[in-house]
Structure 1
Amino acid sequence: MAVNSSQGMILNSMTTSLNNNEQIYDGKLARDIWVYGSAVITVVGTIGNILSILVMTRKKLKKQTTALYLVLLSLVDLAVLYTGLMRHWIRESTGTDIRDTSTPSCKIHIFLVYFLMQFDAWILVWVTVERLVAVYVPHRAKLMFTRKKAATQLAITALVLMTINVHFMWTHSLVRGRCNISSQRYSYFVYTIWSWLDFVIASLGPFVIILSLNLAIVVQVVHLDRKRRRNSTNTTNKRTNTMTGVLISVNFVFLLATAPMTIYLSTQSYWTEITETTEGRATLHIIWACLNIVAYTNYSINFALYCFSSPTFRQELLKMFRVLSCMFKVYPSKESTDCTDHNDNL
């Protein structure tokens, strides 16, 4: 049946209205993902990372080199949440982008976000290298990865990454009220060279290294576990296995959380056709919000992984809570044994 012009106008009007409502819904959904997802991840990550730092700096754990890496990892995780994720929460909640408030905030904020995310990934690389040496040649690991040497490695890594990211101080500035490239002469470097360089430094490079080293670690751990069952165990082996288990779980979540973003960024050039339509752009906004929330989860979940994979961590956490409970008791029982851990470091 043919549709007359009046009916056609009504149908077109209804279609336009439905499309507009869908676009509004898609925009609201992306905003809700940012607002509520960011709030939950920030709260959980803040509590978890602070508890991780307190436990890892206790007497029984802080002497281990791995603990130094994991304490710094928790500190950087907190910094990433409060610089990177908090910016998105503020922008979606209030409509204000902190990068657009002034030229210094534009330059410093974008520098910090890139540096911290890259540094976080390379801390995991270093601790994975340390665990690899620990499971293959444990006696040499004690000489190669002392706390002093580990601190030096981390300081050099941070310095190198800062140098790589220092270009933001002149390539970006506040332009017509928005944080953007300061001059068109930097556009090729920022959008072509730097985008791939950052992809390799922050995502692809650490991803490949951590995945490869973890496979080697798992192979050796399985071999040592079979050997251990045939022989008597000792405390050193148990401690090594515990810290290795912690690392493997942390690395697994890192790979799982960053893989979707890595795949998306590496295939971004093939998504150009989708961005040509309003519906396509709305869909990509939702995908982008989801991928970021998944990626930022990596910075908030390590405490749960430590509790799940390390009996030693759980024991020290319970001891710390007992100490705190004793500290806040007005009249602690003289016969109670729960307060015997008072002399341990918090």
Structure 2
Amino acid sequence: MSSLEDDLLFAKNHSYVVQMEQMVVQSMYKYMNPLFLLCGSIGNLMSIFIMRKMSIHVWSSCIYLTALAMVDLIILYIDCGNNWYKQLTKVDVSVMIMTSSDAMCRVYLFFYNFIFHFSSWLVVAITGECLISIRHPVFKYKSCTREHARAVILLIAVLLIGINIHYFWTHGIVTMRGNHGQVCIYVNEFSDIFRDQIWQYLDILIKDIIPVLVVCLLVIIMTMFLNISNSHTKSMEPVLKKYYMDIEAFKELRQVVIVIAVIFMLCTLPRVGVAVFRHCVTTYGVMPYTQSLSAKLMLADAVCKILSYANHSLKLFVYIFFCRRISHWTKKSTKVFLSQSCSMNKAHRTDSYYQQKVAEKPSSAPSQSFIESNSVQMMDPRIHINHHREPHRKPRVFTQTQV
């Protein structure tokens, strides 16, 4: 009897822990996602404006960072915003879009996976460009131009489109049994091996594992050559200035890129660990997949998503902290925006005040004070003319006969 009571008590505590973990996940999405959306919207838009302005001085680095800010903004809206809206209204916007038509099912899945892959490989590209600028500063002017950066971004986009294009024929809308709605899933008549094995490994390799390994290797090489490069850059400054590049901004952005690469690794490695652990549990049966384990994996996924949202939304603070030029432009832009907003509000309040005063005046009989003020202000036009013509009169001349 005591063992039965212990089992019931354990089951009750176990269900309570599972409910608590689910409530923690919901609270994280509900209260933290709007902060990331607000900071990410303002920060990424300001980053796009600043990097486009700064690309004249630092060339290709700002082109990569501009593209990265655009991609981060899209990811925040389609993933972070969707999770927040789902917690508020219990409506999944992504599911609504995918089930609207067969074409939207394929296009949305293709774009969703493509944009996440593109974000990771943009970090790889800018880290490689930073390594070239550290190891060979003069060679940067030949290989790290704005045209070269656009070509690299286009090459990455074309390769990732080729990898993700299978969504246009492997997925579609399927009606559930009993007419219980429609779902956008993998179509059954195609290969199950590709769905269960090939694409799962390929997706995590392209999205997380290969970019993290490449960025980690590049960061290690950069730290090895960083001290040598600083002394070499000082000796090469007269040569570098001939190319009309801002040397100080170039050095500051180099630090920014290294910090962004490190943050990318720290935010991506937990996601890789959770994905590998889940795959081992579901595929190879390393441990039983219970309800408690499912809740813990859900909590781990939520933490990984929060880290990812922080990586996509808080890059402007990294720019401001490590780059004085960006900090100066950000403060200046903020002051201009606030001053314009205050002047517009003041003008709006003034217009509202005068409109209210005009509306308060009676339309038929004007007040006595208004009449008196008008009578004081209005003068006889003849007096006004004579007053002005008086100095111009000719003096009268008397002749002797008149006298």
Change in 2 beyond 3 A, CA 1:260/1:121: same
Alignment of 1:142-221 (within 5 A): 142-175=141-174, 176=176, 177-183=182-188, 185-221=190-226
Question: Structure 1: how far apart are the matches of 2:215 and 2:147?
Answer: 23
Q: Which of 259, 267, 275 lines up with 1:249 in the alignment? A: 259
Question: Structure 1: how far apart are the matches of 2:128 and 2:13?
Answer: 55
Question: Structure 2: how far apart are the matches of 1:170 and 1:224?
Answer: 50
Alignment size in residue pairs: 326
Change in 2 beyond 3 A, CA 1:106/1:40: farther
Question: Structure 2: how far apart are the matches of 1:256 and 1:127?
Answer: 17
Q: Which residue of 1 aligns with 2:81?
A: 86
Question: Structure 1: how far apart are the matches of 2:300 and 2:80?
Answer: 16
Q: Which residue of 2 aligns with 1:260?
A: 270
Question: Structure 1: how far apart are the matches of 2:114 and 2:71?
Answer: 10
**Secondary structure at 1:183's aligned position in 2?**
coil
**Secondary structure at 1:298's aligned position in 2?**
helix
Whether the aligned pair in 1 keeps the contact of 2:216 and 2:265 (CA below 8 Å) is yes
**Secondary structure at 2:191's aligned position in 1?**
helix
Letter in 1 for 2:52: T
**Secondary structure at 2:312's aligned position in 1?**
coil
Letter in 2 for 1:269: H
**Secondary structure at 1:92's aligned position in 2?**
helix
Whether the aligned pair in 2 keeps the contact of 1:100 and 1:174 (CA below 8 Å) is no
Q: Structure 1, residues 51-96: CA drift from partner, whole Å, max 9, x if none?
A: 1112212257566211111011000000111112223223333333
Alignment of 1:88-107 (within 5 A): 88-101=83-96, 102=99, 103-107=102-106
Letter in 1 for 2:93: I
Alignment of 1:11-30 (within 5 A): 12-30=7-25
Q: Higher Cα Rg: structure 1 or 2?
A: 2
Alignment of 1:330-341 (within 5 A): 330=343
Q: Which of 300, 303, 316 lines up with 2:316 in the alignment? A: 303
Quote the offset at 1:118 in angstroms.
Answer: 0.8
Question: Structure 2: how far apart are the matches of 1:282 and 1:76?
Answer: 31
Change in 2 beyond 3 A, CA 1:201/1:327: same
Quote the offset at 1:306 in angstroms.
Answer: 0.6
**Secondary structure at 2:71's aligned position in 1?**
helix
**Secondary structure at 1:138's aligned position in 2?**
coil
Whether the aligned pair in 2 keeps the contact of 1:34 and 1:89 (CA below 8 Å) is yes
Whether the aligned pair in 1 keeps the contact of 2:85 and 2:92 (CA below 8 Å) is yes
Moved more, 106-115 or 227-236: 227-236
Q: Which residue of 2 aligns with 1:139?
A: 138
TM-score, L = length of structure 2: 0.73
Quote the offset at 1:230 in angstroms.
Answer: 8.6
Question: Structure 1: how far apart are the matches of 2:50 and 2:132?
Answer: 24
Change in 2 beyond 3 A, CA 1:12/1:220: closer
Q: Which of 256, 273, 276 lines up with 2:289 in the alignment? A: 276
Change in 2 beyond 3 A, CA 1:231/1:190: closer
Q: Structure 1, residues 242-278: CA drift from partner, whole Å, max 9, x if none?
A: 1110100111110110011122223333334555211
Question: Structure 2: how far apart are the matches of 1:60 and 1:279?
Answer: 51
TM-score, L = length of structure 1: 0.84
Quote the offset at 1:326 in angstroms.
Answer: 5.4
Q: Which residue of 2 aligns with 1:335?
A: none
Whether the aligned pair in 2 keeps the contact of 1:173 and 1:181 (CA below 8 Å) is yes
* Structure number with higher relative contact order (C-alpha < 8 Å, ≥ 6 residues apart): 1
Whether the aligned pair in 2 keeps the contact of 1:45 and 1:301 (CA below 8 Å) is yes
Question: Structure 1: how far apart are the matches of 2:87 and 2:66?
Answer: 31
Gaps of at least 5 residues in structure 2 are 177-181, 345-403
Q: Which residue of 1 aligns with 2:64?
A: 69
Letter in 1 for 2:272: T
Q: Structure 1, residues 81-126: CA drift from partner, whole Å, max 9, x if none?
A: 1112223223333333334321444323222221111111111111
Q: Which of 25, 32, 38 lines up with 2:33 in the alignment? A: 38
Question: Structure 2: how far apart are the matches of 1:151 and 1:254?
Answer: 22
Q: Structure 1, residues 161-218: CA drift from partner, whole Å, max 9, x if none?
A: 1121111122222332233212153332122111111212111111111111122222
Whether the aligned pair in 2 keeps the contact of 1:274 and 1:281 (CA below 8 Å) is no
Change in 2 beyond 3 A, CA 1:256/1:142: same
Q: Which residue of 1 aligns with 2:127?
A: 128
